[in-house]
Amino acid sequence: MQSYDWIVIGGGLGGAALSYELAKVGFAVLLVEQNQTPDNATRFSYGGISFWSGTTPLLQQLGQEGIDLHRTLTEELGEPTHFRELDLILTIDPDRDPQTIAESYNACLHPPTLISAETAAEMEPLLAKPAIAAALHCKHGHVDPEQTIHAYTQAFLRLGGAIEWAKVTDFCWQGSRVEGVIASGTLFTGANVVVCAGGMSRALLRSSGLTIPLYFTQAELIETPSVEVKLHSIVMPAELKRFQMEADAAQPDKVPIWDQPDRAVTVPILDVGAVQLVDGRLRIGQISRTLTTPTATGERETSAAQMRHAIARYLPALEPLPGTWHSCLVGFSGDRLPVIGAIPHTQGIHVFSGFSNPFAILPPLARHVARQAAGQPSPMLDQLAIDRFVGTGTNG
């Protein structure tokens, strides 16, 4: 039986990018993913790259590294990611103060510009001008999420990486050390195991008695087939509710609820937005819920109706389009930063999960992790370690 240097659990963006980067620096890597037809957060992502939005030196550095990487990633991987830069229109509702909202973005690496409703409607002809008081505008990176995963995976295989289509159900323990995984009844051994399972990371680790500050939302959206309607920009609200919901759900008084089945940690929210992929498909969303049972969702017909009603206000041409409701798990931590590194008090098991802004910062972080594993220290990773939550009341 072959033993690997690294076993990577999860074939979304995190697992695909990290597997590739680890193989690129010379490690023997096994990627384990349960679904050959993915239904993860990457599959249903908008694919946006908000490289401009970092408000700390760490996030600003990663945002710049991320956009620089995406601009050359197709050439590096040998497969198209369909990278492009689009207009991002962040809508401001009529009852909100545009200037105040614009000022809330001043700390960003590249703050968006406040524009009038008229200018926004000129940029995006599908936008209903009466629905907004104004908007914020900037350039926003975008890739096709599925094509990006495919590109990473194919490049990984060309480097000699291996993929096993199986569900990880347990870790192989020798004392406090993990020496492999059990997937679909088969033991796979490796010197290191890294959990990149997104919204399922908490449940997988919890099943082995490991509690770390990773949580998840059930994200719901509508995906259309390829349509003739042309959306020229990415449209999202300037005041996203999801980030505040994530912060609320990770507060110390809420953490114990996560270990109770069939609970709603916070009330659901709806952030109205849409993006069109290169192939003409639209993704319209999104409702986010914090339900403690990973397989729980909202009622699909009610949820779809809510999203259609909401998008009709801003982009009325999208409301009647045929489309299918989908739900997926999205992982997050308590501070909008990912959780990366070894799990304390164990050996051989690591985490690479909880990305709230994945396409912007995950690819460069995968590169940093791989290079550090190969002996090139990356001090920035210390800021993303699990032990940053110790003593905060949110470390589990």
CATH number for position 151: 3.50.50.60
Is pLDDT at 317 greater than 70 in this prediction?
yes
Report in angstroms the alpha-carbon separations of 254 from 246, 257, 259, 292. Answer: 11, 5, 10, 11
Contact, 22 vs 9, CB < 8 A? no
pLDDT at 334 over 90: no
Domain shared by 155 and 259, yes or no: no
- pLDDT value, residue 225: 99
pLDDT for the residue numbered 11: 97
Query: Is the pTM of the predicted complex or chain greater than 0.85?
Result: yes
Say if 344 falls within a structural domain.
yes
Question: What's the pLDDT score for residue 38?
Answer: 80
243-266 confidence digits (pLDDT tens): 999 999 999 999 999 999 999 999
DSSP 185: T
- How many structural domains compose the chain? 2
- The confidence score (pLDDT) of residue 284 equals 98
What is the band of 37 on the pLDDT scale with cuts at 50, 70, 90?
confident
Last residue of a domain, one of 299, 315, 332: 332
* 392 confidence band (pLDDT: 50, 70, 90): low
pLDDT of residue 394: 60
pLDDT digits (tens, 9 = 90+) for 3-31: 999 999 999 999 999 999 999 999 999 99
Do 344 and 384 fall within a single domain?
yes
* Amino acid 390: pLDDT: 74
Cβ-contact 27, 101 below 8 angstroms: no
* Residue 394 maps to a domain: no
**Residue 396, in any domain of the structure:** no
* pLDDT per residue as tens digits for the range 114-136: 999 999 999 999 999 999 999 99
Residues 278, 6: Cα–Cα separation, whole Å: 34
* Whether 222 and 117 share a structural domain: yes
CA distance 200 to 12: 11
Both 220 and 273 in one domain: the answer is yes
* CATH code for position 98: 3.30.9.10
| Residues 343 and 367 both lie in one domain | yes
pLDDT of residue 39: 81
Domain end among 332, 359, 374: 332
Q: Where among 286, 309, 332 does a domain terminate?
A: 332
- Rounded CA-CA distance 315/298 in Å is 24
The verdict on 103 and 71 lying in the same domain is no
Domain that holds residue 19: 3-80+145-211+336-389
Q: What is the pLDDT of the chain when averaged over all its residues?
A: 96
Alpha-carbon torsion (236, 215, 8, 341), positive or negative? positive
Q: What percent of the chain has pLDDT over 90?
A: 95
Q: How confident is the model at residue 36 (pLDDT cuts 50, 70, 90)?
A: confident
Burial code of 150-167, b = ≥16 C-beta within 10 A, e = fewer?
bbbbebbeebebbbbebe
Q: Do 45 and 163 lie in a common domain?
A: yes
Domain check: are 107 and 180 in the same one? Answer: no
285 and 385 belong to one structural domain: no
The amino acid sitting at 217 is: T
* pLDDT > 70 in the chain, percent: 98
Structure tokens, 110: 């590249």
Q: Is residue 395 part of a domain?
A: no
Q: Are residues 314 and 385 in the same domain?
A: no
CB 331 within 8 A of CB 355: yes
Q: What is the pLDDT of residues 211-253, one digit of tens each?
A: 999 999 999 999 999 999 999 999 999 999 999 999 999 999 9
Average confidence (pLDDT) over 343-370: 97
Q: Look at residue 393 in the predicted model and tell me its pLDDT.
A: 55
Residue 101 lies in a domain: yes
Residues 69 and 170 in one domain: yes
Burial of 362 (0-12, 13-18, 19+ CB in 10 A): buried
- Does one domain contain both 105 and 61? no
